[in-house]
Amino acid sequence: MRKPKVAFFDFSCCEGCQLQVANFGEALLDILGLIDVVMFREVMSEKSDNYDVAIVEGSITTSHDVERIKKIRATAKVLIAYGSCATIGGINGMKNNFDLEDIKKYVYQDGAKYFESISTHPLHQIVKVDYFVHGCPVYQPEFVKVLKCALAGLSYVVPDYAVCVECRFNENVCMYDKGITCLGPVTRAGCNSWCINNGNICYGCRGMVSNPAKNGQMDILEKYKIPLDWVQNKMNMYNKPRELDINEQKHKG
């Protein structure tokens, strides 16, 4: 049987998720046994407009991005958004806190008029996305799981419970008990509490659970005397996508 042709694409991002895939090591060989990679700028110079699966990193920040992702979507039978920028807007979304013209002038100064830009959007606000792999960068085991589901035509449901659940399973000492604030109570799981396992905090890069335990979270904030603004500001680091405005709707297919 013909192997599915897979192409990797990037938009506004640091390409860290592509690097994460490139650094799979021996596990990458198993993946390559299942697919035919026809485009992957991080690791190969070959290019192709013929592919079955598009794996896309990065958020949409220009009208050119809008047209390009629409063309990719029209070609691909399956589209996988991977990494926080592609799935929830990511760090690029922080510019949505400001007036677009003001932020362009701040970044480009006198050259601002030469740089066209729109507010930051995750992929699913522009085109249909079939699978999501959250994280900054992506958690390698989850990426493999999602890719296998995509190749087999199976659904993958992103866990909709807090990272704290995985932390408990991994028998981690709660960061709050260490006197360190953490976004685990309100962030969706699926990363196996990767950051906390390695001594870091949860930064909320996987997005907020759809129904966070607000009362429990408020109890935590009160117990440890943490301002609510701190949590809101931290969640803003990755979670500031904006719905398309009237001027941008014309780009949406």
Domains of the chain: 5-157 (3.40.50.700), 163-236 (no CATH)
Instruction: Please give the Cα distance from 178 to 199 (Å, whole number).
Output: 11
Instruction: Please give the Cα distance from 227 to 225 (Å, whole number).
Output: 7
pLDDT, position 105: 93
Full-model pTM: 0.89
- Residue 241 pLDDT > 80: no
What's the token pair of residue 88?
A: 């929830």
**Dihedral (CA of 78, 82, 87, 90) sign:** negative
DSSP state of 253: -
- Residue 243 pLDDT > 60: no
Residue with tokens 């220009």: 62
- Cβ atoms of 185 and 212 closer than 8 Å: yes
Instruction: Please give the Cα distance from 135 to 189 (Å, whole number).
Output: 10
In the predicted model, what is the mean pLDDT of the chain? 89
Residue 127 identity: V
Residue 10 identity: D
- What residues have CB less than 8 Å from 248, skipping those under 6 apart? 63, 66, 118, 119, 121
- Residue 75 pLDDT > 70: yes
Over residues 95-99, the mean pLDDT reads 91
Closest CA to 143 of 152, 134, 154, 153: 134
Confidence of residue 71 (pLDDT cuts 50, 70, 90): very high
Instruction: Please give the Cα distance from 135 to 129 (Å, whole number).
Output: 16
pLDDT, position 247: 45
Instruction: Please give the Cα distance from 235 to 239 (Å, whole number).
Output: 6
